[in-house]
Amino acid sequence: MHHEGDEMKDFIELDGSSLTIRNFIEIARNGKPVKLSKECLQKVEKSREAVEKLIRDNKVVYGINTGFGDLAKVGIQNDSLEQLQENLILSHCAGVGDPISDEESRGMMALRINTLAKGYSGIRVNTLMTLVEMLNRGIIPQIPSKGSLGASGDLIPLAHMANALCGRGECRYRGELATVKYAFENEKMNPAVLAAKEGLALINGTQFMCSLGAISCFDAANLLRNAQIVGAMALEALMATGKFLSERVHLLRPHPGQMNVAENLRKLVVDSEIIESHADCDTIQDAYTLRCIPQILGASSDVLAHVEEKITIEMNSTTDNPIVFPDSGDVVSQGNFHGQPIAMALDYLGMGTAELGDWCERLTFRMLSSELSGLPPFLVKDGGLNCGLMLGQYTGAALVAENRILCHPASVDSISTSAGQEDHVSMGATAALKLRKIIENTGYIIAIGMLCAAQALDFREGIRYGRGTRAAYVVIRERISTLEKDRYIKDDIDVLYSLVHSGEIANRVVDVVGELK
């Protein structure tokens, strides 16, 4: 099943314990292939041997030779165990809604491979390696976005993934929508035929919420960098003082995020004539959107650090049920599939990300309001005839309002299922889907803020900007010209959103000032 030249590829090794968010993004977003070590495959083989022994000994074990959920009390004969797994997958393919993105689906596959590689799930090596081959050959299951309750894990989306592993359903293949059957035939691959325990090994777990959550962590970190760049540009455009950035101020309240943001802002405005000119000015204090940037963005930075820790733990955990302990032969029914730790973390990150947008929209309002900014109304010459960037703030306000609604936590809700057997669920998948939308909205709000900040700096022409703000300004002006008169503004917003989302602006700034913490 190997393509020629596969050995020359740059693989990421999944061992069940060392996956990072950055490596995850390389697999999910950038399509890097994966491999498993011999040690992992030996562990997987050993856990499978334990399952086979239980079947031979006629031990009654949940999900191996019983029904599922509230049907656990129903015993299943050995000659029906394969049919049991088949029925499990088909019956659980109940998802609805638009499919998740290819990167989210690839992420789910990678995370499921990583947890199975730990060797506590009882899957066969051949079945696991078929999933690895699907990922590496770009057979990406079309997985509906809605249906998971986040306990017993993400059952429904993972069932759609497992259904594809069995050669059924639709996938994205070579850039086109295709049947999984066609993709397998074209790759000369055989679909999996699930044996006892393998269905549960594939669908109990938190890989839907965790895939979306890991991607959101990466994108939120990028938004945080861009927000700080907008803040630095606004400090200069609005002629703020830099006194509040002094390290001695923040040492008196040493929250890590606050300390880091203050340090980053000092880096961004190094060599700024505007900031230097205010070193001893008589301005008493600036507005909160300027003076409190380290405190506001720093709090979001601390939220992100917390959630990154939770996601990294989850990516490298065993989250299915029951767990097979191969050394002792014990099989334990437990609740590691329950998504509560991730659900609460993703709700928290939703709040932390939404606050970046809330702050940036208020900063945009300040730059556009001449009585607050000292700049021409709506940042355009010949105002009246021209509306300038007035309406950008309207869009930002609409997105802030939507984010506030989306910040209602999903994790405080629960609806009992499976005849009361599964009577508390996490709603972590809902938290993940909400967070994804909050991040998209906030990306647009920051893009609009950056568009206004660049335009505002045009009115400070002739005064040297800081190193970081100058680098950001140059990238923007390479793609978007100064607004001299009204034009179709959506194009400017979309271009800036792509520059923010891709990390192009932040990366160019980092090249000049060094890493932003």
**pLDDT > 80? residue 43:** yes
The continuous run of DSSP H or E covering 144 comes out as strand 144-146
**pLDDT > 70? residue 459:** yes
Domain limits, CATH 1.20.200.10, in the chain:
213-319+333-415+424-513
DSSP string, 378-435: GG-SSBTTB-TTHHHHHHHHHHHHHHHHHTS-STT----BGGGTB-----HHHHHHHH
Per-residue pLDDT at 64: 79
**pLDDT > 50? residue 2:** no
- To the question of domain 6-205 being in CATH 1.10.275.10, the answer is yes
Per-residue pLDDT at 492: 98
182-208: average pLDDT: 95
- Tokens (6 digits) for 373: 């900014």
Region at 381 (left for phi over 0; alpha for psi -120 to 50; beta for the rest): beta
Given a contact cutoff of 8 angstroms between Cβ atoms, the answer to whether 189 and 181 are in contact is no
85-89, 273-277, 455-459, 487-491: range with lowest mean pLDDT: 273-277
**pLDDT > 70? residue 283:** no
374-381: average pLDDT: 94
Per 3-state DSSP, the chain is made up of helix, strand and coil in percentages (nearest 5) of 60, 5, 35
423-441: average pLDDT: 96
CA distance 391 to 387: 8
pLDDT digits (tens, 9 = 90+) for 103-115: 999 999 999 999 9
Q: In the CATH scheme, what architecture does the domain 213-319+333-415+424-513 have?
A: Up-down Bundle (1.20)
The single residue listed with the structure tokens 């700049």 is 375
Given a contact cutoff of 8 angstroms between Cβ atoms, the answer to whether 212 and 104 are in contact is yes
DSSP string, 247-279: HHHHHTS--HHHHHHHHHHHHHTTT-HHHHHTT
Q: Which residues are catalytic?
A: 62
71-80, 190-199, 506-515: range with lowest mean pLDDT: 71-80
Domain limits, CATH 1.10.275.10, in the chain:
6-205
Q: Which of residues 286 and 132 earns the better pLDDT score?
A: 132
Mean pLDDT of the chain: 93
Please state the φ and ψ torsions of residue 386, each to the nearest 5 degrees.
-110, 140
